[in-house]
């Protein structure tokens, strides 16, 4: 069964997020550490939480995996990516592991 790992970066009054660093430096670190196991990645920059509502997240990254084993291998290899998080944000990301339903 196909699996996903979503990394959600909450937005709050005192949170910071360097989108330029995230795109230009963090993405390559994720690719180097985990890319062999990821089938695709989709990243969304938060703009709104609905009409006239502020977003609740700076960004959400969704990584897709063909199997549970690929996801587990990626998680085992994720150390460099996790260690890089303080270089672009001061928030603790939330993570959601799930099965794709489509």
Note whether 65 and 2 are within 8 A (CB): yes
Q: Give the integer Cα–Cα distance in Å for 101 and 30.
A: 25
Note whether 10 and 77 are within 8 A (CB): no
Distances (CA, A) of 3 to 11, 17, 21, 69, 89: 26, 27, 27, 9, 26
- pLDDT above 90 for 1: no
> Given this model, what pLDDT does residue 2 score?
95
- pLDDT above 90 for 101: no
- Looking at every residue in the chain, the average pLDDT score rounds to 96
pLDDT digit string, tens, across residues 21-57: 999 999 999 999 999 999 999 999 999 999 999 999 9
């Amino acid at each position: 069964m196909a699996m996903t790992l979503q990394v959600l970066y909450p937005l709050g009054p005192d949170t910071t997020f360097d989108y330029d660093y995230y795109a230009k430096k963090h993405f390559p670190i994720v690719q180097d550490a985990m890319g062999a196991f990821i089938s695709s990645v989709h990243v969304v920059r938060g703009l709104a939480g609905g009409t006239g509502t502020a977003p609740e997240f700076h960004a959400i990254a969704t990584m897709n995996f063909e199997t549970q084993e690929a996801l587990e291998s990626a998680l085992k290899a994720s150390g460099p990516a996790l260690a890089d998080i303080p270089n672009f944000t001061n928030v603790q990301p939330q993570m959601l592991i799930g099965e794709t339903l489509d």
